[in-house]
Structure 1
Amino acid sequence: MVPRSAGAEPPPAWYLRDWDSGALYKRGRLLGEGTFGRCYQVTEVTSGRLYAAKLIPRARLATAAIGDRVERERELQRHLRHRHIVRLHGHFTDRGHLCLLLELCSRGSLADILRARGRLTEPEVRYYLRQLLSGLRYLHGHGLVHRDLKLSNFLVTERMRVKIGDLGLARRAAPPGRRWGALCGTPAYLAPEVLERRGHAVPSDVWALGCAVYTALTGHAPFEARHRPELYRRIRGARYPLPPQLSPRARALIAHMLDPEPAARPSLAGVLGHPFLTQGFTPQALPPRACHSVPIFVGQEPLRRILRGLRCWRGCGCVPVTPGGGRAPPQST
C-alpha cells in the first residue's frame, strides 16, 4: 500500500476491538492507503505487540470484485508460512470495518525506498532479490501465481528483510489445458501473454519480477508511455532502454527475464543461478540508513581477508610473508 493523503473517508476509532477474542488494539500511524482501505500500525494493548491492520469498510466489501479479492487474500494467507511472505495473524470486524491483522513491516516498501533514493545499487538488488526468489519459489511450490508483483508489494521489516505482500490477486495456476485469461495486475508490469489473454502463469511472475529488478536499478519502469495502447505495444515488442550504467550481468539478466516468449524466460532456479547473483558481491545485511541513502559496503570478502590477516599477525604472533616468499620486515607498534 502506498502512503498518500487521506481521502474523504473518516479515520477509524482510536481503539479497535476483536469481540470474539476480547483483544483491544490501539490505532497508530497511517502506513498506507490502497484500493481496499487504509493500513495502520496498531498495538495490542495487553501484550504491546505491533501489527499492521488493513481496515476495509464493509460497504466496499459489498462490491463483488473487492469482496472476492479480500476473501481470496484472507484464505490464501491463512495457510502460508514463510519468512519472506507477509504473515496474516488473524481477522475480525469492528465498527463497520473488516480488519486484517498482518505482520508489521515498519520500513515500508521497496517503492518507498526507491522514492527516497532514486535507484538502488546492484549489491542491494542482489540482497533483496535472493529473498524475493525464496518467497516466490514457496508460492509457486504451492501452486500459486501472485499476478501483481511490484516494488510497492515488496515490504521491508525493521531488520531490513523483504517480504512479499498483497495476495489479493494471487490465484492457483490453471490446470493443464486451461488458462486464466483475466487482464489483472499493474499495467506497466503485465507480461505480453497476459495482454494477449493467454493467461497468467509462472513465467508472467518472472516477467513482473524482471520489471521490478529493472525499476530498482534504474529508477524507472522498463515500459513507460503516456497512453495505454502505446504502453502495451512496447510491452508486446519488449521495447525498453538499457542504461549504460548497468553492469553486463545485470543487462543480461533483465533481457532474459523480459523475453517476450514465456518459454524462453528463466525459471526461478535459473534466476537464482544467473551470474548476476552468483558472481557479484551480496551483503549479508543492510543498515537501516539504506532506506534513504546509499550504504557503504565495508564487509566485502577481499577486505575481510585483509583485516583478518592483520588481526592474526598482530594478535597471535604469526609472521606475514611478502609476495616474493620472504619474511616481511618488522612493524613498529
Structure 2
Amino acid sequence: MDTGCFAAVNPDMFKPCSERGPPQQGGVPPVKTSRTKPEQSKPELAQVVTDSRTGRRYSKGKLLGKGGFARCYEMTDLTSNKMYAVKVIPQNRVSKPHQREKITNEIELHKTLSHKHVVKFSHHFEDQDNIYIFLELCSRKSLAHIWKARHTLTEPEVRYYLRQIISGLKYLHNRGILHRDLKLGNFFVNENMELRLGDFGLAAKLETVEQRKKTICGTPNYLAPEVLNRHGHGTESDVWSLGCVMYTLMCGNPPFETLDLKETYKCIKEVRYNMPSNVSPTAQKLISGILQKNPSDRLSLDQILNHDFFSKGFTPDKLPPSSCVMVPELHPPSPAKKFFTKVAKSLFGKKKAKVEKIPCEEKDDKDLSKLVSGIVKSSINRQISYKTVGPNEAPSTTGQLVSSVPLEQTPAEEESRKSISRSFKGTMASSAEPCEDVLTPASVTELALKVLSSCLATMPSATRNPPCLSRPQTFLWVSKWVDYSNKYGFGYQLSNRSVGVLFNEGTHLSLCDQRKTVHYCLTNNKHFTFQASSLPEQLRSQKQIVELMANYMEQNLMEGGDLHCDEQTSSPPPLLLQWVKTDHALLMLFNNGTLQVNFYTDHTKIILCKSSDGSYLLTYISRERVSYTYLLSMLAEMGCASELRHRLRYVVQLLHHHADA
C-alpha cells in the first residue's frame, strides 16, 4: 500500500449542502444558511476500536479527511490486516432524528451497491461515542487531486475517466438512484488507476416529476438549471453535472465559475460559458449537447457514449500512474495490438481467470520508485530497442518496498508513458560479427519456433497431459523478475538464486555464489569474471543496481514455482539475451537456448530447454506454482490437455510475430 493512500471518501461529503466548504477543484463556496453551525469539538478517537458484535479490533491510522459531521481515518483490521477508509461520525452530531435518518439512509443505500466503478461499502458498526462506516481505500486519491496537479487532461484521458463514470452512473440510474453531487472530488482512483464513484451523502431515490425533491443541494459550479429553479432532480441533473466535469477536465476550470456566487447561478440559468479554442470540435459539440438548459434536450448517457467524441477517438485501456502528475504519452493501438488481442481471445477466451491475489514472483512494479539511492546514473547509457509487436502493459501487482529515496518516476509509470500501444523489448548488445557457436535472440527464436511448431503439428488430441518426468534434469529458469527499464534495465532471479540485470545499453551483470562472484558481459562473446571484493571501479554502480534489485525481489516477490537447484559457481549463469512484453505474456530468451514465457493473468509458465542428450524438455508451471516437465517428443506423440495446448499455441504465435518483426 502506498504511503500516500487516500480514502474513497471526500472530506466534504460529511457536510450537509449548507455547510460544505469550497469545492476541492476551485470555485465559489455554497451559500451559508442559518442552519450552519460551527464544528463541535470531537473527542480524540481511540487508537484501537472494537466492534462489540464481532469482537474484531481495528487500529487507527492516519487522518484522511475531515468535515462538519465526521472524520475519515485509515484503519487496519488487526485480524486480517485488511485496510479500510473509515468514516467516523460522532454520536453527538446525529442526536436529532433527521440527522440520524440521513446517516441511516446513506448507509442503507450504499450497502446495496455493488459495481466496479462504485466505491465498495464493507460494513459498519457503532459504539457509545461514534458510528463507523468502513469503505475501500483508493490510493490514487481523486480526480480533484489529479486535476490540481495537471490542471487539464488530454482527450484520451478524459474519455478513459468518463467511460468509467458513465458506467457507474448508469448502474445507479438503472437502480433508480440519483447521485446529486457529481464533481471531481467524488471520483476516486484506486491503485490500478480505476475510477470509483463515491460519496452518497446527497444521493436520493428517483421520484416522479410531481414528487421530485425541490431542495437545492450539491456543489454550486455543477448545479443544473432545474435544480436552481427548484424544478426538482432527475437523471438529467446528474448528466448536466457530468458535462461540467468534462468541461473542467478539458478546460482547466468549471464552465460557470465566477468570483460571485450570484453571478455563477445566473450563468448557469442562462447556460452562459466560454469555450476555449483549443478544445476539439467534437469535444465542444459533446459538451454543448450535455449542457442544455431544458433537461429533455440533453443527451442521455448512451447518446454520450455513442457520440463521435468517443466513437472516433482513442480511449486507452489503462493509464499509467504517472498521469496523476504529468501528461502521459498515449498512442492508438497498433495492428500488432489487435493481432495479439485476437489471438489471446481465440485461445483463452474473453474473460481472464480469477486468481487469488497473493504476492507475485513477477513485477512491473509501482513501488520501485524508492529503489535506487545514490547511484552514479551517468555510467549507464540508454539505448533501448523498440519494435511494434503488441501492447506493453503487463498487469501489475502491488507490494511494499522499504527504502528511502524516491526517483522521478516508477518503472510501470515510465514504461506506460512511453507507449500504451507498443510492446517493449530489451536486447543484449552483440558484436557485428558474432561467433558461429554463439546463440542470438534470432537463433533461439528460430530453434524454439521450429520444435514447437513441429510438436503442435503432430500432436494428437487429448484430454490430459502425458506422464511427466519423475526426476527431470536440473535446469535454470527465471523464478522472479522486475522491469526497471525506464532507467536501468530488466532484472531477474534464476532458480539457483543468482541474479542478473540486462542493462538498457546491452551489457549484462550477474551476481552468483551468494553475491561473491560477478559475471560481466560486454557482448555475447566477451565475458569477464571478477570477485566482488575486487570489482573494477567503473562497474561498481551497475553492481549496486543489481544488488538493490536483488534485495527488492528477495524481500517482496514470491518464487514462481517449485523447481529449485543448488547454486552453481563453476561456470557463468545463462545470460538473458532478450525480453519482450506483450499484453498477455513476458517472453525471455537466454544464450543457452532456453526460452521462457510467463503468462500474467494466472502466473502459469512455459519453459523450453535442451537436456544434456540434446532432446528438448518442456516444463509447465501451473497457476498453483506446481511444475511438470515433459519430453517434448512425448507431447508430440501423446498430446496434452487443452490448458497446455492453448498456451503452446500462443507461444508459437508470439514467436512467429517476434521473428517477423
TM-score range, shorter chain: 0.7 to 0.9
Deviations 1:31-90 (A, max 9, x none): 222332111121111111111101111111125554333222101011111111112111
Residue from 315, 324, 330 that aligns with 1:297: 330
The 1:68/1:301 distance shift into structure 2, 3 A limit, reads farther
Residue from 146, 151, 159 that aligns with 2:192: 159
Shift of 1:170: 0.8
Q: How do 1:22-33 and structure 2 match up within 5 A?
A: 22-33=55-66
Q: Is 1:308 aligned with 2:389?
A: yes
Residue from 140, 143, 156 that aligns with 1:110: 143
When structure 1 is superposed on structure 2, of 245-254 and 172-181 the one drifting more is 172-181
Deviations 1:92-144 (A, max 9, x none): 12461111001111211100111111121111111111111111001000111
Shift of 1:178: 2.6
- SS of the residue corresponding to residue 72 of structure 2 reads strand
Equivalence for 1:327: none
When structure 1 is superposed on structure 2, of 137-146 and 13-22 the one drifting more is 13-22
Q: Is 1:173 aligned with 2:206?
A: yes
Residue identity opposite 1:148 in structure 2: D
Shift of 1:208: 0.6
Whether the 8 Å contact between 2:11 and 2:71 is mirrored in structure 1 is: no
CA distance in 1, matches of 2:265, 2:294: 15
CA distance in 2, matches of 1:302, 1:66: 57
- After TM superposition, the score normalised by the length of structure 1 is 0.87
The 1:226/1:29 distance shift into structure 2, 3 A limit, reads same
Residue identity opposite 2:297 in structure 1: A
The structure with the larger Rg is 2
Equivalence for 2:310: 277
Compare relative contact order (CA 8 Å, sep 6+) and give the higher one, 1 or 2.
1
The 1:154/1:35 distance shift into structure 2, 3 A limit, reads farther
Equivalence for 1:67: 100
CA distance in 2, matches of 1:65, 1:150: 25
Shift of 1:302: 6.1
Whether the 8 Å contact between 1:36 and 1:66 is mirrored in structure 2 is: no
CA distance in 1, matches of 2:262, 2:336: 51
The 1:279/1:298 distance shift into structure 2, 3 A limit, reads closer
Shift of 1:2: 4.2
Q: How do 1:177-192 and structure 2 match up within 5 A?
A: 177-192=210-225
- SS of the residue corresponding to residue 144 of structure 2 reads helix
Residue identity opposite 2:228 in structure 1: L
Whether the 8 Å contact between 1:169 and 1:185 is mirrored in structure 2 is: yes
Residue identity opposite 1:76 in structure 2: L
Q: How do 1:213-232 and structure 2 match up within 5 A?
A: 213-232=246-265
- SS of the residue corresponding to residue 221 of structure 1 reads coil
Equivalence for 2:167: 134
Shift of 1:14: 1.8
Residue identity opposite 2:306 in structure 1: G
CA distance in 1, matches of 2:45, 2:249: 34
Q: Is 1:51 aligned with 2:84?
A: yes
When structure 1 is superposed on structure 2, of 137-146 and 28-37 the one drifting more is 28-37
CA distance in 2, matches of 1:190, 1:220: 15
- SS of the residue corresponding to residue 138 of structure 2 reads coil
Residue identity opposite 2:234 in structure 1: A
CA distance in 2, matches of 1:172, 1:42: 31
Equivalence for 2:273: 240
When structure 1 is superposed on structure 2, of 169-178 and 107-116 the one drifting more is 169-178
- SS of the residue corresponding to residue 177 of structure 1 reads helix
What count of residue pairs does the alignment treat as equivalent? 315
Q: Is 1:42 aligned with 2:75?
A: yes
Q: Is 1:205 aligned with 2:227?
A: no
Whether the 8 Å contact between 2:116 and 2:196 is mirrored in structure 1 is: yes
Shift of 1:8: 5.8
When structure 1 is superposed on structure 2, of 49-58 and 172-181 the one drifting more is 172-181
Aligned-residue RMSD, C-alpha:
2.5
Q: Is 1:119 aligned with 2:176?
A: no
- SS of the residue corresponding to residue 131 of structure 1 reads helix
CA distance in 2, matches of 1:173, 1:155: 24
When structure 1 is superposed on structure 2, of 180-189 and 93-102 the one drifting more is 93-102
- SS of the residue corresponding to residue 233 of structure 2 reads coil
When structure 1 is superposed on structure 2, of 136-145 and 37-46 the one drifting more is 37-46
Structure 1: runs of 5+ lacking an equivalent: 318-332
Equivalence for 1:321: none
- SS of the residue corresponding to residue 20 of structure 1 reads coil
Equivalence for 2:130: 97
Residue identity opposite 2:82 in structure 1: R
CA distance in 1, matches of 2:283, 2:99: 37
CA distance in 2, matches of 1:262, 1:160: 32
The 1:7/1:59 distance shift into structure 2, 3 A limit, reads closer
Percent identity of equivalent pairs? 44
